[in-house]
Chains A and B, each alone.
Chain A
Amino acid sequence: MEERKNIFDYLAQALTVFGFAMAVLNVFCLLFGESAKEVSAMFALGRKGIPAEIVFQFAAVSVLITVFRFVFFTDVFIRNMKVWLRAVCMLALVVMTIAVFAVTFQWFPANLWQPWAMFFLCFGLSVSGSYGVMSVKEKTENRRLEDALKRLKSKEERQNEQ
């Protein structure tokens, strides 16, 4: 049976999302911090780092993403829903959450189209990357299952011959 997940597993997931987001944000901070500090609360300190309140806001987003994942990718709340629909709903909720945080906490100027375009471009690239990794993982797993099935069938054939 599959091992049941506990609160610490979900905490680990949230911290993984948070850690990855912070790593990417720090790279952006080093690259664009100085030029973006006038318009973005995220880069208010320029190249010096991410402000503490932004760190906590990202921690909250990470927790919410983990909650969405729990809602859509376990059968606790939703039982009969196709996987692609689960993924679409979750992505839509994640986009909405980030958009709400961005506007509320002035992560970037909400009245300009360029930051939104960059946001959707970055989000799209991340989703495409994740989808690519998942596809490769799925193909590898299918190949292993196929091989295992072949082994099972040939074992049976040998047994039948005996």
Chain B
Amino acid sequence: MKIEILVDEKAEDLTVSVTCRHLTPGVEKILIALRMINHQLTAKKDNEIYLLDMEQVIYIESVDRKCFICTPDEVYETEIRLYELEQRLEEYGFFRVSKSFLIQLRQIQSLKADINRRIRVTMSNGEQIIASRQYAQELKKRLGVI
């Protein structure tokens, strides 16, 4: 992969162009990483690619090596693994609450402690996600409870 940087004092906008023969998963990953800088996520639905604003994402669920991005209206699919999304989205307020779920903290509607040291997280769309014991402690730390 060649990386060319052209410094032009007359350029008005920052332009990143990607030249490739085919849209391979590797190229898609580059595009996704670039989109993230713009607070956007690239995801698929019915073989069409969509650009999602991160703010509208409620949670991301991993099922059988695929990740599903849940927004208030639709569910989209992405090829990126949950651990990669976790690393990339941490600074945007996303938080891992179990092996399969990454939630957006600002989309939390309410929290309830379970007897078993888990936390029941109700998201803005009313769905409930269980923060497992391993991650519940981290969530409490993040929220400043402990």
Q: How many A residues touch the partner, as a band?
A: 20 to 34
Is the beta-carbon distance between B113 and A138 smaller than 8 angstroms?
A: yes
Taking chain A's interface residues, is the majority helix, strand, or loop, or is none over half, making it mixed? helix
Residues of B within 8 A of A149 (CB): 108, 110-111, 143
Residues of B within 8 A of A87 (CB): 115
Give the shortest distance, in Å, between A18 (CB) and chain B (any CB).
Answer: 23
Is the beta-carbon distance between A142 and B138 smaller than 8 angstroms?
A: no
Chain A residues 117 to 162 lying within 8 A of chain B, measured CB to CB, are 134, 138, 141-142, 144-146, 148-149, 151-153, 156
Give A2 to B136 CA distance when docked, in angstroms: 8
Q: What is the interface of chain B, defined by CB distance below 8 A to chain A? A: 105-106, 108, 110-117, 119, 133-138, 140, 143-145
Q: What is the interface of chain A, defined by CB distance below 8 A to chain B? A: 1-2, 73, 75, 83, 86-87, 134, 138, 141-142, 144-146, 148-149, 151-153, 156
Nearest 9 pairs of A and B residues by beta carbon: A148-B143, A141-B113, A145-B111, A83-B115, A2-B134, A148-B145, A2-B137, A144-B145, A1-B134
